[in-house]
Chain A
């Protein structure tokens, strides 16, 4: 793998639900380099989450290929797919639903280490605590259950869980849309710090262009399962071409005029 090769290369990706049902996704293609943040924007039902699930191989595409680190993972299954799992991880929108309600933070964070044998059983704890501190929590949270944490804290645990396998790609599905504004800024800053430190790439799904403007280098816009616009975030926001993009911009209460954040 050369340095110039994209980390993630998606081409011709299609997925239909039902025979004549909603569009699903049609012929989506994009690429993502190491350390880059690509935002996927679109209104509800535009196919953003489906795209995330296809990239993470939680659903099977009808057509198209997904290449990660130069390897075609579109048809990978079973053990081969599991071996790739540490390389790409995910943070979910609903942090309450994303955890087994009966598992403590300790068990939640041990899982990635245990599954991929990244640390011996006794050696997990210091690694977990270091990661918790990195995301702004601490050892005192180890024995808490998800429901006894605040939304922001849960999302930090989710980020910690995803980062423990040291992935190169993190798919974030509306990671801050359920949080209030001040917490939202904290989580976005945390993500930017982690990116600076580890060089991880983000596939950042959001309907909120203000958030995207703050974190994303590039932006693609989906509308009813089609890719309607693509480009550098600043350029797209300054001169939107597609109707769907203009609608999203109109939906943002106050966007800083013109420039990137």
Chain B
């Protein structure tokens, strides 16, 4: 339905950025062969000095470039999956809450508030310490604290959408309530959710970084978060150790942001029409 030609430069820029990052993750063994955790050179080598280590080395002499490309695999996977899981679960809860109303709404919203009162990081920490590290656990643990915003945003959208004539029309046609909620209403509530995706991805990366820092990440995998956390200890002597993975992180967040915003702008057309009535 949506072609490359009519999605606008923001969406295109964002998608290209994400594609480049994805390609980097896929091509990691080609760009930086071997174990990214292996000691491969002198410690604390600055970037752009040695062709063998274009982005320098860390305290232990591990190649930063290798860390970035191999880290992108774990980091992107965890961030995108947990953001997607959080958005899906959140929008599911929000749709049910807004559409069904009454006691269901009351119960689901109190549940959402219960999760909101606990910091996302503590929830993730609690989940991970109960079940041990590992990618699926990390994804679950991180999305645990990230779905509440999506739920609230979706609920607010659904509350306004469900009063519209096309919902009444669907009822007159005899459409079943769940189909009305998820096929007619929810797709029209995606606009603000897409903007939330960027925030969710960023916060997922940061939570993962913090968990790695505390030693709850997977010690056999390098992630951008663990690189930043490690670089922090020598921040004054070798700021590039935090800055380089930081730039990669910013690029990811910007990619998601622009892709989301660009796609949400298309959404904006119908939203404006809605307001105009």
Contacts and interface: CB of A to CB of B under 8 A. Distances in A.
Interface stretch (B104-112, B115-123, B160-168): B160-168
Contact of B187 (A53, A58, A102): A102
B interface, over-half SS: helix
Interface in A56-87: 56, 58, 81-83, 85-86
A58 B174 contact: no
Q: Which of B166, B172, B188 has the most CB of A within 10 A?
A: B172
A134 interface: no
A232 B171 CA distance: 32
A97 B166 contact: yes
A165 to B, nearest CB: 8
B169 interface: yes
Given A96-B273, A100-B184, A115 B169 contact: no
B172 A90 contact: yes
Contact of A56 (B164, B166, B172): B172
B277 interface: yes
Q: Which of B174, B184, B274 has the most CB of A within 10 A?
A: B174
B173 interface: yes
A58 B171 contact: yes
Given A86-B174, A94-B165, A100 B188 contact: yes
A53 B169 CA distance: 11
B174 A99 contact: no
A82 B174 contact: yes
Nearest to A89: B172
B168 A115 contact: no
Interface string B237-271: 00000000000000000000000000000000110
A165 B269 CA distance: 32
Interface of B: 164-166, 168-176, 184, 187-188, 269-270, 273-274, 277
Interface of A: 53, 56, 58, 81-83, 85-86, 89-90, 92, 94, 96-102, 111-112, 115-116, 147, 161, 165
